[in-house]
Structure 1
């Protein structure tokens, strides 16, 4: 049996899906989190027949069966073409007026529908009483009171859905109008929608039998006046970010990481001793201990920091704050031709850039969608957290503001790059009206935050045990042999295959302050997975310390990045920014390709991302050296030449597209005049 789970955005549909199936799909207390269908089996304890296979399909939120956005098309097409046995329509009980419009459309499809009257516990607390039996009669379908968050009413809901699904029809839709009405044009469609709205309003008035009057201004309204204020919202956001990063990167995260690092070191010593006792050769011993355990361990060592970060950000999502961030950022995004809706993919992108880019499909405007897909990877995702954690801990241990600064730098870059892209593409200014349903404030669920944290930690560990492990092994082997396949040894590592391949790239990084092959190799492997930057550094510098992970994380002048790599605080900041703001991993680039649907936009985005990361790192190193050390950094003259070339390139692109844009506008005007 196949159950389709449908509902308006932010009706609690994905929370319901998780409760019915036991899955841990990403849930956000705002609209537009689900952008593609998800399938899972109904939990066995919710079925009377344990052997019966019941599949639940979580569909993107939709307001109407007439698709307005791409995710609504997914829902509409699935319901019409995939023939589910029954539809569970998740309805926000606190907003029947809006929700039942979609419900009445579903009832007309001829597929059995069971309405899950969700968030019913919150409705009761608000003083609103819904006459559920009367609502059943008016809709002529089963209506179940549920709370997906508290997992109440699920057994009855699942039982009813299975029962109705086996009936295969027999459900008569309520009659919206007395006479048959055929829709022939847009005016007829608007008339039909108006009649449907009137019908829904009439139902709502009949079933909402009592509502306790409240003051015009609620506590939530008063809170929004401060939190979502156009000026106060920014410093509040900054303060919250600082608190999140202080707890995760400076206090609790490092405290927990210390225990994990001790465990990794014990594992490394145990394995090394076992291999020596077994009489394995030195190369195999080094490959396993330094290449695999050392490299992967360097990344895994930051897992507690990432878990604490994800936990805190999940709490912020669940309490309803992130939707307010979208409101605060809306006026800034309008300046670059976007809207606050573009902030949603970026919020999703802090966990991973891939779902963040995929979330851009909720944006109707093709240009805005492509721009958002280009800009979203600038947000430091979870894969970049080890880079931030490493360089902040080593070079800025007392600066608790450094980690949150990376996010504000990202937001600044998004706005500046957005303005630049707007100038280059000569896009006509669009009137953006950003509308978002601000979810109610609520106490965040600790359980859900823990589950979300564990799910993301699992993904991080799996990635470390697969992609990063393989990359580390490859890096170690390339570092150990030259092109004649001779073992180079510790002294001849500069003639290894890895060094030979990385040296040309290292030459390009001299003006940036990290022009040695080890840093170049780490930056290049970062395009496979950003965690590889830390892992590759651990492998490349393993020769300079007894323990690769410890050598990397040791603060002060004894740190291998300073002693052997020659990094200063300024060049370290430049290196961190380079890896944070250059193009994302290959998988995220693949997602960009899929969502943009244009090779021109894709390659343009990659070029801009690389140019931004490179130029920012160059400016940080050169200007920072002048300010901090009173002298220009190495490659100063080359930096001036590069900056002049960048300026000339940008002016050329803007001018070229200016003429093309004017010509296109003139052609458009001529066509309108002819018409």
Structure 2
């Protein structure tokens, strides 16, 4: 038996799905969190040992889809024949929710209405006559509170009973021609009239909605056009300061101590083994993975704080604040949602772009989202902040602000290249009620994301570090390399070092190797640097993993680049194309190879130009005598090639628009 969970965005649908199934799907107090179908067995204690499957569908306002995630819901309900529908209705916004309910009733599928968030209505002194509402709709209505699991047992038992009964909806619109705009508008007007009549009968409010409540007063500050952005910047600054300096770093230092004890224990076990085996296993493989895992507390604290911001309702306000600015570059407030989600991980962030109806805007958002540093990039940021900038919190803040700026410039560039025509657009978003965020939900979200981080470290990163260590240890003739410079890894990475030369000022195959492996997973940058600079005794005369200890001067001395070069190299890794998984998500959302390759080209070009300008201009301002003229000119040549290529693309687009204009005027 399959039970489809449907409802408007932010109705508590995914929270109910998690409560019923024991899953840990992402939830948030804003629209656009669920963008694909999820399916899982319902817990046995709800179903009396009967095999039940819950299907969590993306939020939708109508069965006539306007966005791709709404089409997933519409197609599933119409074509997959679920046995029963549980329509989650937001009790705090009954009139809006019931519009979708009436459309579902017309399908003739057995249905139960879950009147969710009923606890909030008690606080707002609002009463809903459940019996009368059930009679008006012609289907059972059960009060529920997803967060506390209240009413869920009754809901499932009622759904099972309802499955075997005919659905008798009192309201029908049959044989509507969806292509006929007049018919659809007439049907919608009648539907709204029907819903409003029901609401008048069943809902009693003791608090007038015209009155300005505490939510409205807070919104006048947080969504103010002058104060909103500085407040958002300050909030994010404290998120990074708390996660990477105040709380995250002390926990990381504690964890590193135990990880190093484990590394020493393994080393003692194989103390009498072949020295090459010890170097491969202890220093290379284990050391490289530990270098990544050691940053886990910083990442998890950040995940926890972001989850709290999402749950309390603040992130929806951020979309409102940034919408006017985003409109000026051809995007909208809906693009903010993917960008914010990307702070956790680029893959779901890119997938969230499917909530955007306009195709060009959706593709541009998916292309630009990776400019926001994700959780995988936190270890890279933290490594260089600790090694070169004494763990300064401003490094993380600067990286994220730079990402936002690049998104704006990238959007303008995309508009020029594709020939964007200005159009009047409207951004409509539901602002959820402010609430005290659930610490338990935030903890579960943190653990879920943290576990994914650990799994990646134990699989992809472990495999990559193993390959890197083996390639660094042996020559092409499969003999042990006398020096790392004679290794397989050095010979492969050396050509890429010439690309990095204009932005770091030195030819370092180690930095090149780390940048290349970063395209597999960004955490590999840290792991590869640990392997390359720590793995062999002839490179570092110490038994400690200095990259993990954040011993600034030691690490900076080992890598042998200036602070400006370190900042440039950091930006190159953050703003060039993301990991393979994120590129795959881009391909899935864009559905165009031309756009995907264009996005990769844009990301690489932007990352290189930003890094080149930071290194060149920064060096000229701080130590001009150290600037390598050959590298500066080579980098300038690459920048010129990029600019010329973009200019040609823009020129071709303008010519195409002129030809279309001339053709239309003939």
TM-score by length of 2: 0.96
- Check the 8 A contact 2:308/2:439 in 1, yes or no: yes
Structure 1 position 632, deviation (Å) = 5.5
Q: Are positions 1:65 and 2:60 aligned together?
A: no
* Whole-angstrom distance in 2 between the partners of 1:407 and 1:253: 18
* Residues 1:434 and 2:431 aligned together: no
Equivalent positions of 1:440-451 (< 5 A) are 440-451=433-444
Per-residue CA deviations over 1:345-364 (Å, capped at 9, x if unaligned) read 11111111111111111111
2:115 & 2:517 partners in 1: Cα distance? 50
User: Is structure 2 residue 418 aligned with structure 1 residue 457?
Assistant: no
TM score, norm. by length of structure 1: 0.95
Alignment pair present for 1:531 and 2:531: no
Aligned to 1:283: 276
Relative distance call for 1:236 and 1:335 in structure 2 (3 A) is same
Give the C-alpha shift of residue 123 in structure 1.
0.9
- 1:196 correspondence with 2:196: no
Q: What is the deviation of 1:215?
A: 6.1
Instruction: Determine the structure 1 residue equivalent to 2:73.
Output: 75
Quick check: 1:622 aligned with 2:616? Answer: yes
Aligned to 2:566: 572
Question: SS where residue 247 of structure 2 aligns?
Answer: helix
Aligned mates of 2:525, 2:660 — CA distance in 1: 44
C-alpha deviation, 1:150, in angstroms: 2.2
- The secondary structure found in structure 2 opposite 1:659 is helix
410, 421, 425: which one aligns with 1:417: 410
Asked if the contact 1:297/1:549 (under 8 Å) is kept, the reply is: no
Give the C-alpha shift of residue 270 in structure 1.
Answer: 0.2
Question: In the alignment, is the contact (CA less than 8 A) between 1:130 and 1:207 conserved in 2?
Answer: yes
Q: Displacement of 1:553 after TM fit?
A: 3.4
1:553 aligns with 2:545: no
Indicate the larger mover: 66-75 or 318-327.
Answer: 66-75
1:550 CA displacement: 3.0
Does the Cα contact within 8 Å between 1:117 and 1:144 map onto a contact in 2? Answer: yes
Q: CA RMSD in A?
A: 1.5
Indicate the SS of the match to 1:558: helix
- Tell me the SS of whatever aligns to 1:3: strand
Q: Provide the rounded CA distance (Å) in 2 between the counterparts of 1:304 and 1:519.
A: 25
Deviation at 1:483, TM superposition (A): 0.9
Paired residues of 2:38 and 2:56 also in contact (CA < 8 A) = yes
Distance, in Å, in 1 between the alignment partners of 2:637 and 2:167 is 74
- Contact 2:389–2:552 (Cα < 8 Å) also in 1: no
Report Cα offsets for 1:46-84 as digits up to 9, x if no partner: 22x22x211000001111111221111111111111111
Tell me if the contact between 1:577 and 1:616 (Cα under 8 Å) persists in the aligned partners.
yes
Of 299, 306, 317 in structure 2, the residue corresponding to residue 306 of structure 1 is 299
Measured in 1, the distance between the counterparts of 2:215 and 2:564 equals 44
- In the alignment, structure 1 residue 501 sits paired with structure 2 residue 492: yes
CA contact (8 A) 1:294 1:547 kept: no
Q: 1:417 Cα deviation (Å)?
A: 1.1
Cα displacement string for residues 195-249 of structure 1 (whole angstroms, at most 9, x for unaligned residues)? 1111010000000134323662222112111111112111111111111111100
Q: How does 1:7-156 map to 2 (within 5 A)?
A: 7-47=7-47, 49-50=48-49, 52-156=50-154
- Is the Cα contact below 8 Å between 1:511 and 1:633 reproduced in 2? no
Q: Which runs of 5+ in 1 are unaligned?
A: 671-675
SS at match of 1:541: helix
Q: What is the SS of the residue equivalent to 1:430?
A: coil
* One of 221, 225, 231 as aligned partner of 2:220: 225
Partners of 1:506 and 1:659 in 2: CA distance: 39
The number of residue pairs the alignment matches comes to 658
C-alpha displacement of 1:398: 5.5
Equivalents in 2 of 1:113, 1:67: separation in Å?
20
What is residue 175 of structure 1 aligned with on the other side?
171
Gaps of 5+ in 2: none
Residue 371 of structure 2 aligns with which residue? Answer: 378
Q: Give the equivalent residue in structure 1 for 2:289.
A: 296
Choose which of 162, 169, 177 in structure 1 pairs with 2:160. Answer: 162
- Residue 150 to residue 658, structure 1, CA distance change in 2 (3 Å): same
Distance across 2 between alignment mates of 1:669 and 1:334: 29
